[in-house]
Amino acid sequence: MIEVVLNDRLGKKVRVKCNDDETIGDLKKLVAAQTGTRAEKIRIQKWYTIYKDHITLKDYEIHDGMGLELYYN
């Protein structure tokens, strides 16, 4: 289990615990459950790299305690 911190830069930080073999789409569903926003309206990125839904956290080298950017479309 790893913990990922997502910051929406509007004052909200979301901490999500998940496995590193889960996909970005799974992570979006977990974030949606905590924030109340629909998963298809969430965009996760780091700097200018927008993460695709079908790729796993391990493939993106997302580790425990890593911070990602959370945007609402």
CATH of domain 2-72: 3.10.20.90
The domains of the chain are located at 2-72
User: Within 10 Å of residue 24's Cβ, how many Cβ atoms?
Assistant: 21
pTM, full prediction: 0.84
Confidence at 39, pLDDT banded by 50, 70, 90: confident
Of 1, 20, 2, nearest to 61 by C-alpha is 20
pLDDT at residue 53, rounded to an integer: 87
- For residues 39-60, average pLDDT: 89
